[in-house]
Amino acid sequence: MKTPETPPLASDCPPSDQAPALARISSQASPVDKNTDPELMPPPSDGDDLPHMSPDPMAGSAVSQEPGEGDLASLSTPLETGFGTPSEWSPGIKEQELSESVSFPAEETNRPELGSEEAIEGVSEEPTPEDEGYPTWNYSFSQLPQFLSGSWSEFSTQPENFLKGCKWAPDGSCILTNSADNILRIYNLPPELYNEGEQLEYAEMVPVLRMVEGDTIYDYCWYSLMSSTQPETSYVASSSRENPIHIWDAFTGELQASFRAYNHLDELTAAHSLCFSPDGSQLFCGFNRTVRVFSTARPGRDCEVRATFAKKQGQSGIISCIAFSPAQPLYACGSYSRSLGLYAWDDGSPLALLGGHQGGITHLCFHPDGNRFFSGARKDAELLCWDLRQPGHLLWSLSREVTTNQRIYFDLDPTGQFLVSGSTSGAVSVWDTSRAGHEGKPEPVLSFLPQKDCTNGVSLHPSLPLLATASGQRVFPEPTESGDEEEQGVDLPLLSMRHTHLECQLQLWWCGGSPDTSNPDAH
């Protein structure tokens, strides 16, 4: 399929003449609603006050403080007591209707008021008759995504504070970002999505929590069973250089626990990759030639050590990324030594060792059917698709621009139909994996440019057609050109950054047409 022409889209691009029509979605309790008592919450004012948002930008900041390993008692269920939060802190919220038409911002404006929210008893109500015909949204890339909102002022206070990816929470209530200032930030969905009736301009997004790490963050991830309606499951794991693995409370931003790995000299060593098991009982961490498995019920240093390389055989190098199959009891590991390994979940026994990338593996992603998985690498212009039914057989490769060592993320939508990837040039490419094109591989159905800087992070919302992109990269001064004779008398610096385009920002894009009402029970 021929790729349509895609002129660059700036973050302040004018709204499209045809805004998407939004139906109502189920408004889940967001992690930052923890300290809000619905019975005591004042009604929305006519000013700029925003419910559930901290008025002080640093009010949600959390400084990394090491809790003692003995601070958490043995837990009957994984992380239930240690990360538990009083149930009254997370009240259920009644369903709210989204506007039938969404307005897209051209310039930053004051935050609009929200509709009133009412508390209900519990979070598991039987569907009412009015919920019949409840629509579910599907992604559609037949036209260019439409810009909704984003965050850029947050990353402009420090020079070269580029982002390092973004990840939607499993329940879709909020999004997590990482950046060069070693701060994890959590953003709520834009409140304008929940507006009923009138069209509103989207204000710039402001983080509701900041979690400060002590050094360069290697990896970060959500708890696999995270649900904002269950505070004991709402937490984030992160790993940074020369630090243990930290567990953060996604309601308060406080450090709740730590997992510590030690090498053969009994020195603390940092994990390069993190991934929770699908059932949430284990935390898998990648190290040099090793995967360590911690029980989420017992923070500390006790862990199972699974060597990936022994007796000069196996997967060598640092395990840089880990992903679990959604349908089979196995997981995949990517290594900076350019190899891919498949392992049994229960005991870590090796199942297959694959090779084909030109650079170190930086990201893995399984297809929802569990039969295929995708891999991408640094300084490697290919996305590879593998078939688990024929482990040594490469299905096809897709082209993308990755010219640096930066981790460039890609993601699949919940149905597995669309594959979306960023690139060093900034272009976001979309492939339809259900349609085989030339040479039996998918052709790009869409490509657009969110900004002129590198797009390193892409994340597709689990229930709404919302694409999140993160941008920025480390830049280096370039030698100054000599110029003509008239400029020789001017003192010019030997190195200059005048040709660089720094655009470090988080952006949200609407990628849907009309809701699909064929499945009334889907949420």
If DSSP states are collapsed to H, E and C, what string results for 41-71?
CCCCCCCCCCCCCCCCCCCCEECCCCCCHHH
Task: Kindly tell me the number of DSSP H helices and DSSP E strands found in the chain.
Answer: 0, 37
Over the stretch 104-113, which tens digit does the pLDDT of each residue have?
333 333 333 3
The C-alpha atoms of residue 73 and residue 160 are separated, in whole angstroms, by: 42
Sheet bearing 428-432, strands edge to edge: 410-412, 418-421, 428-432, 444-448
Closest alpha carbon to 413 in 456, 448, 376, 465: 465
The residues facing 338 across adjacent strands are none
The C-alpha atoms of residue 222 and residue 237 are separated, in whole angstroms, by: 6
- The pLDDT assigned to 468 comes to 98
State the chain's mean pLDDT as an integer.
77
The C-alpha atoms of residue 360 and residue 347 are separated, in whole angstroms, by: 25
Whether 96 shows a pLDDT value over 60: the answer reads: no
The C-alpha atoms of residue 367 and residue 274 are separated, in whole angstroms, by: 19
Q: Is 230 left (phi over 0), alpha (psi -120 to 50) or beta?
A: beta
The amino acid at residue 122 is: G
Give, as one character, the DSSP assignment of residue 512: B
Q: Residue 351 — very low, low, confident or very high, per pLDDT cuts 50/70/90?
A: very high
Cα angle 389, 391, 397; round to 5: 105
Both tokens of 504, joined, read 């470090």
The C-alpha atoms of residue 342 and residue 354 are separated, in whole angstroms, by: 8
The C-alpha atoms of residue 11 and residue 455 are separated, in whole angstroms, by: 13
| Cα separation values, 247 from 193, 258, 338, Å | 30, 6, 29
Cα angle 329, 334, 337; round to 5: 145
The C-alpha atoms of residue 278 and residue 224 are separated, in whole angstroms, by: 6
Q: Residue 41 — very low, low, confident or very high, per pLDDT cuts 50/70/90?
A: very low
First to last CA, the chain: 32
Burial status of residue 472 (CB atoms within 10 A of its CB: 0-12, 13-18, 19 or more): buried
Both tokens of 404, joined, read 């640096």
Return the CATH number of 316-399, one of 3.90.1520.10, 3.30.365.10, 2.40.10.480, 2.30.110.10.
2.40.10.480
The C-alpha atoms of residue 277 and residue 295 are separated, in whole angstroms, by: 10
Are 121 and 503 in contact, with CB atoms under 8 Å apart? no
Q: Which residue has the higher pLDDT, 152 or 441?
A: 152
**Weakest-pLDDT range from 192-201, 216-225, 247-256, 452-461:** 192-201
Look up tokens 């983080």; give the residue. 207
Closest alpha carbon to 273 in 361, 390, 144: 361
The amino acid at residue 321 is: C
Considering only the C-alpha atoms of the chain, give the largest distance between any 2 of them, rounded to a whole number of Å: 80
Burial status of residue 57 (CB atoms within 10 A of its CB: 0-12, 13-18, 19 or more): middle
Question: CB under 8 Å to 437, separation ≥6 — which residues?
Answer: 1, 443
Closest alpha carbon to 157 in 58, 30, 285: 58
- The pLDDT assigned to 232 comes to 93
The residues facing 274 across adjacent strands are 285
The C-alpha atoms of residue 343 and residue 469 are separated, in whole angstroms, by: 31
The C-alpha atoms of residue 345 and residue 340 are separated, in whole angstroms, by: 15
Q: Residue 16 — very low, low, confident or very high, per pLDDT cuts 50/70/90?
A: very low
The shares of helix, strand and coil residues in the chain, as percent rounded to the nearest 5, are 5, 35, 60
**Weakest-pLDDT range from 200-204, 352-356, 411-415:** 200-204
Q: Residue 333 — very low, low, confident or very high, per pLDDT cuts 50/70/90?
A: very high
Whether 486 shows a pLDDT value over 80: the answer reads: no
Range list of β-strands (E), 263-314: 268-269, 273-276, 282-287, 290-295, 304-307, 309-310, 313-314
- The pLDDT assigned to 513 comes to 66
The C-alpha atoms of residue 278 and residue 178 are separated, in whole angstroms, by: 23
Are 228 and 234 in contact, with CB atoms under 8 Å apart? yes
Instruction: Indicate yes or no: pTM above 0.85.
Output: no
Closest alpha carbon to 394 in 444, 343, 439, 348: 439
**Weakest-pLDDT range from 31-45, 254-268, 330-344:** 31-45
Q: Which residue has the higher pLDDT, 440 or 389?
A: 389
- How many CB atoms within 10 Å of residue 267? 9
